Chains A and B, each alone.
Chain A
């Protein structure tokens, strides 16, 4: 049993489990699944700075902050008890491409060559972690949701705006990964 749990889980197990988060949150408290809003609640709670967008009763959305705290704990749990000691299996074409940029260690889920405290103070590390994170926060709020709020919850409820958003996420990702990211990685 533990052996099976330690292996990487296939998509047909993980996807349905993620899909079940939608009815789970609806039924235990009438909550719509969404994660990027937690970033907004953090702003509203810590640095509202009298900006209208952050002046609301964030305490009413406490559940969302508790939910993301749970995701953090789930990450700890998975790493502590069901850790897969094998490196991530990667498409050989990608291995070849990434090795050009000095990314050769696929032991962890976050490649150590790219994202670590020591690489944070290099130009490449700064762009990947600081600028990348900024785009995630800015873009999700501008779009009114992320992969969970739009792609999963919104599409589950057959919302056209969420389809537009999901399509835009994918287009943005394709453009970045194939056109611009190679330049950033070669810095």
Chain B
């Protein structure tokens, strides 16, 4: 019984999260993960080449001195909305023939408080989590410190979670 309760807690915790529910009932061999490595690589190349990982571009964005980042995010969202609509409209299946699942997000005050806190960090470091990995790859080894600090921040959130307003 205790075990069940813990599992429940875990699900409650996970359902609040951005990507944590990715239950596929299909079991895959380890090498199936290579496709994510490949998509990640393409994504990383785009982050570098469009200068999305540039600290200065982020400063320009937050000072309304350049349209670049708004164009990137806006067109990405537009393509994302159309893609998701097409997948839903035509019930497009995954390459394994499974129906595509979407996970509605629940509102919590964390999206405001946490969102503001992340916004502060984004403007200071000039990077959101994805660019941290790409910056390190492109040779800025010191960003490892920023990444470890971000892991520490995530850990402290996990520690304090019950005491924070949600």
Contacts and interface: CB of A to CB of B under 8 A. Distances in A.
B2 to A, nearest CB: 13
Given A54-B158, A135-B124, A175-B120, A73 B44 contact: yes
Contact-size category for A: 35 or more
Given A72-B40, A128-B124, 13 more contacts: A15-B74, A23-B86, A60-B23, A74-B44, A75-B135, A77-B137, A88-B51, A131-B149, A134-B121, A137-B153, A138-B117, A139-B153, A170-B119
Chain B at the A interface: SS class = helix
A116 B83 CA distance: 40
B105 A135 contact: no
B154 A40 contact: yes
Interface residues of B, number: 132
A158 B78 CA distance: 11
B48 A79 contact: yes
A75 B93 CA distance: 31
B1 interface: no
16 contacts: A9-B49, A18-B72, A32-B18, A34-B18, A37-B17, A63-B33, A71-B130, A111-B56, A133-B146, A139-B116, A142-B114, A143-B110, A147-B128, A165-B115, A171-B115, A174-B119
Nearest to A24: B39
Interface in B1-58: 6, 9-10, 13-14, 16-24, 28, 32-58
Contacts, number: 553
A109 B53 contact: yes
Chain A at the B interface: SS class = helix
B51 A31 contact: no
Interface string A137-170: 1111111111111111111111111101111111
- In this complex, the member of B40, B112, B135 whose beta carbon has the largest number of chain A beta carbons within 10 angstroms is B40
Nearest first, the 5 closest Cβ-Cβ pairs linking A and B are A172-B119, A74-B44, A70-B40, A75-B137, A168-B115
Contacts of B136: 72, 75
Contacts of B106: 161
A52 B146 contact: no
B39 A51 contact: no
Contact of B114 (A51, A131, A139): A139
Interface in A22-76: 22-40, 42-43, 47, 49, 51-56, 60-64, 66-76
Given A11-B68, A75-B134, A144 B111 contact: yes
A94 B59 contact: yes
Contact of A140 (B49, B113, B114): B114
B142 A115 contact: yes
B59 A36 contact: no
Contacts of A157: 84, 102, 104
